[in-house]
Chain A
Amino acid sequence: MPKPGEFYQRDRMWHPPALTRDYKTSVARSPQYALLSLDNTVSEITGPVFGHNDIDPIDNDLILNYAQSGEMPIGERIIVHGRVLDENARPVPNTLVEIWQANAGGRYRHRKDTYLAPIDPNFGGCGRTLTDADGYYHFRTIKPGAYPWRNWRNDWRPAHVHFSVFGSGFAQRLITQMYFEGDPLIARCPIANTIPGPAALEQLIAPLDHKATVPFDSIAYKFDIVLRGRRSTLFENRPEGN
């Protein structure tokens, strides 16, 4: 088997560090030793593959995928769409994108969430889809509400949607959160601000996409996701080059 290109080194000064004291839970859950950097092997360059047999078409429609017959969840109807690209700006096709979120009131359908805002009987809060050949994905959902959490005494998470993405290799595995343009809670959030620089944080803020908004139906937000790119093997010490 010819050696495929390695993934570009992950820029760990762009990502949040492990220890971020204002996000209190990170204090006891962050390694103290430095990570050991590995050359990519076949274990890191490969990763799981998913297909249309794994999921159902309705899985990407959070407005309908948990609604009782003839009903719909309460809240702002939105479309979240975008592309999954790599650092070389190439589309990442046929990759699994999974999301989860709170309902319009900031309450999660989770046995551990005890916030007093009510559960919506017609809203589950999770979805999944595969990107198409151009790396494009879309979901339809309800805009999540902010919610309080026990960090400092009066901390509130900005409205957000959690995203999980695979890519083609296990080294690309990524979980992140999407925020909404203009939310004043982003600047106050200890989790959003685990990210060291403003340019990186902006990459998590989805703009209102008026052109993709469906009149009299749903407002759209655009969220592109970038996974690690792979280098060409052009300069490997091999006579056959690429």
Chain B
Amino acid sequence: MAQPLDYLRETPSQTAGPYVHIGLAPGAAGFDIYREELGWDIAGPNAAGERIRVEGLVIDGTGSPVKDVLLEAWQANAAGIYAHPEHAGEVEQGFRGWGRVITDFDTGEWAFDTIKPGPVTDFNGGVMAPHINLWIVARGINLGLHTRLYFGDEAEANAADPVIRSIEWENRRETLVAHRSERDAGAVYRFDIRLQGEGETVFFDI
């Protein structure tokens, strides 16, 4: 017998279930308990950059909107810097870069207000196109799904993005691109996420 390795094993995932809102968005579950719920303000009041709204549906394999999803966003600021201890002081005060939203119980629509992130330079000097990292949990999803939202008006940057380029099936790359429209309140990017089947969104093992 060889010596045992002493690594621990990652705690296995379980679905967030139908009542995820109680823990992570209790106001939506129908009661107020915390002084402040976390995740409703991604960018804060001082962030530079264009204010945008991102919205969409999560759609299951039958084509139906999923109405009990919780999504989390993780993004850089307009200069492409993440609010992380290694960059302490390099992002605007109040910019957390993280947000949490739930889908509407009746329609399945979700939306969050934020700023458009800038391109992110990676450790090896490569530049990633502006993107928002998304994490999706819900009843029926055993392990949270990771995907990325890219911006339709950044075609040139997207074409050079190393992650998009790593998707061998070019016709699937489009599933990661949100499309811009203008409303009176400002710019909106539409991003529907298809869990399964026709037009299935690309999900990542990160």
* B-binding residues in A (CB < 8 A): 1-4, 10-12, 14-18, 20, 23-33, 35-38, 40-44, 46-50, 54-56, 59, 65-66, 85-89, 96, 98-100, 108-113, 124-126, 128, 162, 164, 170-171, 173-177, 191-192, 194-195, 199-201, 203-204, 225-229
Contact = CB atoms under 8 A, between A and B. Distances in A.
B10 A43 contact: no
Contacts of A41: 120, 122-123, 128, 163
B155 interface: no
B143 interface: yes
Interface of B: 6-24, 26, 29-31, 33-36, 38, 60-62, 64, 66, 68, 72, 74, 76, 82-86, 96-98, 105, 120-124, 128, 131, 133, 135, 137-146, 148, 163, 166-167, 172, 195-197, 200-206
Contact of A226 (B9, B62, B143): B9
Contact of B12 (A25, A85, A124, A203): A203
A87 B8 contact: yes
A35 B142 contact: no
A27 B22 contact: no
A56 B38 CA distance: 12
Contacts of A43: 74, 76, 82, 120, 128, 131, 133, 148
B163 A16 contact: no
Contacts of A12: 143, 205
B10 A29 contact: no
B18 A112 contact: yes
Nearest to A7: B206
Q: Say what secondary structure dominates the interface of chain B.
A: loop
Nearest to B194: A31
Nearest to A54: B38
Nearest to A173: B135
A88 B5 CA distance: 10
Contacts of A16: 12-14, 142-143
A1 B123 CA distance: 7
Contact of B10 (A11, A28, A164): A11
Nearest to B168: A36
